[in-house]
């Protein structure tokens, strides 16, 4: 990584991976219960495989609350994945029957997407679900706990712990939780003709980091009257976020993205992979966070793209955060995200829903399709 961003991670080059990845993919294909795999080998069907968090899922908080507790995935069909699938089906592009296999899980972290299998760069979680939910600061008046930290690799809490359904049904093998990456390997090994893979991941890592900083700073002020970060509590939280993002969090996200792509490439898939980058719905809430988010996108460009020639970045930041003044940037945030949705329980730019509006999802779909076409033009 260049000195401009300060993040440094290295990855195996395109197609190079630990030898057991393909064997595991073949094994998983035999018994992972996945609706997307069952019909994947239809000769006239081309598969588009979507991996990621709630943005790939097509989630909005308003729609979730309107339908709770009957959260059918069919209520979340206006995401960028659906728009991109429609673009792929156009005669000018693939022009075939496109089957969207959407493995995305709301709330997923980059750890959870990989899972706990060390042969896929995963790790056995050092936090239990109970520890995730019961942080030490819980007895204080203000507490933000419940986040999945950097040592937690449990996959897809949305379905495995909250028991909410996914588009692709959930991934369980012989009673064992299976990660998105393991599920994706099973789909690849099944013989499905995969035209494209999209991946968005890391935003929940960032949210967890923000929450952890709030916890730490509040706990320090409550017990010591000050924080190791300078200034009053609000500035101390920002200082914590900046330091942890630059030195711990973003390098961790970039490393996990690189490992995920390396596993996919090592499984035998060498087609287009489009990474959806990061926008910043909290630009005015967290001063200075625009620079950190820009740095994350730059880290993807400089660390991921040179290592994987079949990967392109779809960067939403210039659209979602456009504007030469804070007021203009806030206008675009309100236009492309649900942060200002008056029908949402938060309903204000200070505490709204970070997910895209329908218009925002359509813009993401356009960006993803453009990045995909660039890869096709290169012969990927």
pLDDT by residue for the chain (380 residues), tens only, comes to 332 333 344 444 433 333 333 333 333 333 343 444 433 444 468 999 999 999 999 999 999 999 888 899 999 999 999 999 999 999 888 877 899 999 999 999 999 999 999 999 999 998 765 665 555 554 444 444 567 888 899 999 899 888 899 999 877 766 778 999 999 999 999 999 999 999 999 999 999 998 889 888 988 998 899 999 999 999 999 999 999 999 999 999 999 999 999 999 999 999 999 999 999 999 988 988 999 999 999 999 999 999 999 999 999 999 999 999 999 999 999 999 999 998 865 544 456 899 999 999 999 999 999 999 999 999 99
282 is a domain residue: yes
State the total domains in the chain: 1
288 is a domain residue: yes
Q: Residue 280 phi/psi, 5° resolution?
A: -130, 95
135 is a domain residue: yes
Closest listed residue to residue 117, CA positions, set 154, 148, 168: 154
Domain span including residue 264: 20-371
6 is a domain residue: no
9 is a domain residue: no
Contacts of 208 (CB under 8 A, 6+ apart): 109, 147, 148, 149
354 alpha-carbon distance from chain centroid: 13
377 is a domain residue: no
8 is a domain residue: no
CATH number at residue 38: 3.40.50.1110
Polymer length in residues for the chain: 380
161 is a domain residue: yes
Contacts of 39 (CB under 8 A, 6+ apart): 45, 99
Q: How many whole angstroms separate alpha carbon 28 and alpha carbon 12? A: 23
């Amino acid at each position: 990584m260049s000195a401009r961003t300060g993040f440094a991670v290295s990855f195996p080059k395109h197609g190079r991976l630990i030898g057991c990845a393909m064997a595991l993919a073949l094994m998983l294909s035999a018994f992972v219960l996945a609706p997307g795999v069952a019909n994947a080998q239809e000769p006239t069907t081309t598969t588009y495989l979507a991996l990621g968090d709630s943005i790939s899922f097509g989630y909005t908080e308003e729609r979730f609350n309107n339908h709770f507790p009957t959260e059918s995935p069919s209520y979340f069909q206006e995401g960028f994945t659906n728009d991109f699938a429609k673009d792929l089906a156009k005669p000018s592009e693939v022009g075939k029957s496109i089957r969207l296999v959407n493995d995305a899980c709301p709330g997923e972290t980059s750890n959870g997407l990989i899972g706990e299998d060390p042969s896929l760069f995963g790790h056995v979680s050092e936090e239990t679900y109970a520890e995730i939910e019961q942080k030490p600061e819980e007895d204080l008046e203000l507490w933000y706990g419940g986040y999945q930290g950097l040592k937690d690799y449990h996959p897809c809490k949305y379905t495995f712990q909250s028991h909410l359904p996914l588009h692709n049904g959930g991934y369980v093998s012989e009673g064992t939780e299976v990660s998105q990456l393991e599920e994706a390997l099973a789909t690849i090994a099944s013989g499905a003709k995969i035209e494209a893979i999209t991946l968005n991941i890391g935003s929940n890592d960032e949210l967890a980091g923000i929450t952890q900083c709030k916890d730490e700073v509040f706990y320090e002020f409550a017990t010591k009257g000050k924080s190791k970060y300078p200034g009053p509590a609000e500035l101390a939280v920002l200082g914590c976020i900046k330091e942890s993002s630059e030195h711990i969090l973003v390098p961790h996200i970039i490393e996990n993205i690189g490992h995920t792509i390396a596993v996919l490439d090592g499984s035998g898939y060498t087609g287009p992979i489009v990474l959806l980058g990061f926008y910043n719905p909290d630009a005015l809430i967290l001063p200075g966070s625009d620079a950190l988010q820009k740095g994350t996108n730059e880290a993807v460009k400089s660390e991921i793209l040179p290592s994987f020639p079949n990967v392109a970045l779809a960067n939403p930041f210039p659209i979602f955060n456009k504007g030469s003044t804070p007021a203009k940037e806030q206008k675009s945030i309100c236009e492309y995200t649900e942060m200002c949705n008056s029908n949402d329980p938060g309903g204000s730019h200070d505490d709204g829903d970070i997910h895209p509006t329908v218009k925002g999802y359509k813009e993401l779909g356009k960006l993803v399709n453009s990045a995909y076409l660039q890869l096709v033009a290169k012969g990927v």
